[in-house]
A and B are shown apart, each in its own frame.
Chain A
């Protein structure tokens, strides 16, 4: 049985855990406000809110693409669709969308309502820029977004005085008409709702965020036994431990990006991971899942390669550690055994004076897969000699590459060295013609990104 609160109603269902929330709300619960427009998390029309009760008893809400969200993953949660927002009165978000004419055909509108409402519930600061970030996965083909931006701006203006942290904001948000009053009862109701522990069956398919898995094989997953890592609190941690950052296998991209540890030790990652994917996917996709997915072009992978990350792999055979640079064997093949999982990612803290930089080029600047991406970690000694250099590249081979830079160590970092490095990178690249670009483009582009790394790190000085 899967139990969750759907809007105001308690649901206990025997439907298969692999059924998506989108299918459940539309076909089983007959709530048609949540729209299907792409089934791949690319458009945001099916956005719902998932409220999960934390250890402190507070419920944190995240906007998620319901087309990639299996109901097994929301066991014990509060799921909010557009029907769960307004009663007789429109909510504040809804009123502002109408006021600013931020809806035309209307098919994307419920998703936009949910994303903005999720922003009000979950964002640390209610800034206009944050609201736009929250909408980066909601495509609208009609309005041209100007009116949507105006509505978002008005929303932030009307909530300007709200400075409570998200966990304590519920009462005020209800009073401001952002969410209905019943939301206030949800934490207590969820406390009474016991989620079943994560299944541990040997044949179970591990689902981390599921945002790629449910794009690739939704048909298969509906009949599979699933084990959801979101229900493994033991894997949900980020901590500094000596000279390393330890990230549990269930940590989402968004949790990672905005965690105090990352903001303190790797401040550049906040922006870099904003380009990883849209808010509705970052809220679900996990850092470890992105690495295990083994895409030759994964942003997280390319960043972690340059940061010299190690994978902690746990399975029936025990626990082992593998450097990420040795983790990929061939296209989409990893060093992960069938009963193993990446339980932790270990990222060494940056050495004193190290410079880090990430470059990503995609057809659309945001919410798009890279044609080529690359990350750099550089330390130089006295006199500007390179003491350590890690340079990674995605989209130029069947696996994400850590380029061979041994010969550059000890060299003086000057224009000539950068040029030689750019050419060496081009030489190592073995891209193919595909939907992300021609091989010729990707090869040349990698060289340019190497040049861009140094142009940017030079400008940024010692900053990370």
Chain B
């Protein structure tokens, strides 16, 4: 089944925040933000701006009615700066005017005297100075010294990966409408209904039951709308104080310059293998470039730490990680949530090790894949591992060894171009690593005409979660899917909802929906048996939108059943709650069972590098992804394709440049994401056959994030091609832009 929203998308009738007709008297808010990366605010005068034409109000931290705080994990992020600023783009004042243009013009009249202070932009420098969010984390598994002593090969070095802008098409925005009795309704492009609901109430200084957050859909989220509440609480505060509707929408360049990104990482790695290529030991230190506030960075780092071993069995492992506090806008969640970064290091280290051994990386990887009975470094003994199955399915389809031979033959025959190849296995833990978040509720209402409305905490952002929820509800109730509608995500119907992230949207909310529908079905079956005076209540069923008794076939329509049940005073509404069982993790011991299950995959990527120009094309990507018993293969294929290309963008062309003072120089005219011509001609995605999964709704598996890791294949294949030409330089950092490839081939040695 398809995502039904498409029928509106193609007509342009789907409503995003800006498409909601502006309420009468709607005002527009714009943020005045810090021009310096770190400084002390000596004085701030907004009086001239407040008197500018069309301006309704200018607010500073003093005007925040409740708590001037939007920190997500730590309370370290003021909504409006108080006496210091920590990054360029940090909100200092909020200008509210009759039009966005008037608000923008008024910005010029704000006088801020800020004394610049030394700022830090390098994560390693921040770590050395002790500028970190939370604590340094470390886990040691096994006997490292003993293991290294047995190693024949040790690959050691430094690596780095770059930031990635979400480039969701709908920028950060919200519309806040005040109601009676000091209530407020906020329409927002936001992934975290529960958390943002809480932030709104805190900032406004009112109880949560006076705040209603309503989310219809997002024009893309990718994690970027999960944790930072600035652009939702700011217009809400203005609307609350002015008693008028207020809208805030970032322009694209404001969004690029001031919102969080995928975290850049730096790494120190040391990988040890025995003479046969079996991994014995691995040490990996992660330096996460977090930015000025913690935001959600410690959680992202935590997930990286849980995934540093990738898809491999590593008996002795030491991992450490620090979330480095630097003076750039706080980075946040991005599809994959630290897993792509964590996986990168082991994948690159294996490439390095393969060079030392004189074997192909594929050979090493296949040998070390996870299998049933292996124990992960945090103490989970695995079962139902599909790593080898995915790899072998890919091998069968793509012929890995033959492809490697063809690449070698091509390279031997060509001097101007070289091909590169990489096979990437993916193992991605599913569940929020923060155990508390693994909960969801659903509200299912059956109306007397037989139509069904489902509300959950899941947010639709194009990933098709609503379609999956419809399928689950229709299947469970035994009715056609067109009888079910998924309503908006609304905090008055579904309180305290977890974010739609960690690929868990369908797992958690689908399961809650299933539970609610099961209760309703049981209740209706019991009623039907009574109503139809059946001797054998067990013989009554609902299927295909009708009540069936025994072998007799349909005896009553679903619509009539609903009406009759309501008339007989049967409750046609049900709320259900689901909490993923058996999850636990201790940050102190770094041990536990953080994930309900794992999603596996394998992919092959082939690139062709032009040695003269440093340019390249990705020629082929072939993916096998484990989606369990897919609820909708169409949706899941689309998720895989989209995630892979997004990952390839991160690995190749997506780059941000900063000025020495910390300003983001990259605007929309130079932040390039993959376009239609970048995508390889040969792009095949297969969902793993005969896979099931008892740990998620209807035996499906999460699909949103895991395939993004395949994007690493483009990086590794380029590394393969580049190292085929020269090995005298260290492995280049990700992304490998054409400039980086060119300089690797033709530029001077590093540091010269």
A: which residues have CB within 8 A of B?
A: 26, 30-40, 42-43, 45, 81-83, 85-86, 90, 93-94, 97-98, 101, 103-110, 113, 132, 135-136, 138-149, 215, 219, 359, 361-369, 371, 435-438, 440-441, 444-445, 448-449, 451-452, 455
| Residue contact A136 to B676, C-beta cutoff 8 Å | yes
Distance of A60 Cα from B399 Cα, bound (Å): 49
Task: Report B-chain residues with C-beta under 8 Å of the C-beta of A30.
Answer: 21
| Residue contact B674 to A107, C-beta cutoff 8 Å | no
Task: Report A-chain residues with C-beta under 8 Å of the C-beta of B635.
Answer: 101
Residue in B12, B612, B638 whose beta carbon sits within 8 Å of that of A143 in the complex? B638
Of B69-77, B80-88, B459-467, B515-523, the one with at least 4 CB within 8 A of chain A:
B459-467
B359 within 8 A of A: no
| Residue contact A105 to B11, C-beta cutoff 8 Å | no
A19 CB to nearest B CB, Å:
12
| Residue contact A104 to B462, C-beta cutoff 8 Å | yes
User: Top 10 closest A-B pairs, CB basis?
Assistant: A33-B12, A105-B462, A106-B9, A104-B462, A107-B219, A144-B645, A82-B12, A144-B641, A107-B169, A32-B19
A-B Cβ contacts below 8 A, count: 228
| Residue contact B746 to A444, C-beta cutoff 8 Å | yes
Contact with A along B167-179 (1 / 0, CB 8 A): 1111100000000
| Residue contact B11 to A90, C-beta cutoff 8 Å | yes
Residue in A104, A364, A368 whose beta carbon sits within 8 Å of that of B638 in the complex? A104
B167 CB to nearest A CB, Å:
5
| A363 with B672, Cβ < 8 A, contacts A43-B169, A101-B634, A146-B679 known | yes
Task: Report A-chain residues with C-beta under 8 Å of the C-beta of B101.
Answer: 219
| Residue contact A143 to B743, C-beta cutoff 8 Å | no
Residue in B15, B167, B666, B737 whose beta carbon sits within 8 Å of that of A141 in the complex? B167
| A109 with B9, Cβ < 8 A, contacts A101-B3, A440-B747 known | yes
Chain B contacts with A in 640-674, Cβ cutoff 8 A: 641-646, 653, 655, 657, 665-670, 672-674
| Residue contact B672 to A364, C-beta cutoff 8 Å | yes
A184 CB to nearest B CB, Å:
21
Distance of A379 Cα from B692 Cα, bound (Å): 68
| A86 with B11, Cβ < 8 A, contacts A132-B676, A435-B665 known | yes
A395 CB to nearest B CB, Å:
12
**Could you tell me the dominant secondary structure of chain B's interface residues?**
loop
| Residue contact B10 to A104, C-beta cutoff 8 Å | no
A70 CB to nearest B CB, Å:
16
| Residue contact A448 to B10, C-beta cutoff 8 Å | no
B2 within 8 A of A: yes
Q: A110-B10, A147-B641, A366-B675 are in contact. List 17 more A-B contacts (CB 8 A).
A: A43-B668, A82-B11, A86-B11, A90-B10, A97-B6, A103-B10, A105-B169, A105-B220, A105-B462, A107-B219, A107-B220, A109-B12, A143-B638, A144-B674, A435-B657, A441-B743, A452-B613
Q: Which among B14, B674, B676 has the highest number of chain A CB atoms within 10 Å?
A: B676
Distance of A359 Cα from B610 Cα, bound (Å): 13
Task: Report A-chain residues with C-beta under 8 Å of the C-beta of B169.
Answer: 35, 37, 43, 45, 105, 107-108, 141
Contact with A along B1-37 (1 / 0, CB 8 A): 0110111111111111011010000000000000000
| Residue contact A144 to B11, C-beta cutoff 8 Å | no
| Residue contact A110 to B12, C-beta cutoff 8 Å | yes
| Residue contact A363 to B655, C-beta cutoff 8 Å | yes
Minimal Cβ-Cβ distance residue in A for B656:
A435
| A146 with B683, Cβ < 8 A, contacts A436-B670, A438-B739 known | yes
Q: Which among B635, B670, B678 has the highest number of chain A CB atoms within 10 Å?
A: B670
| A145 with B645, Cβ < 8 A, contacts A105-B461, A363-B738 known | yes
Distance of A35 Cα from B168 Cα, bound (Å): 13
Q: Which among A113, A142, A147, A365 has the highest number of chain B CB atoms within 10 Å?
A: A142
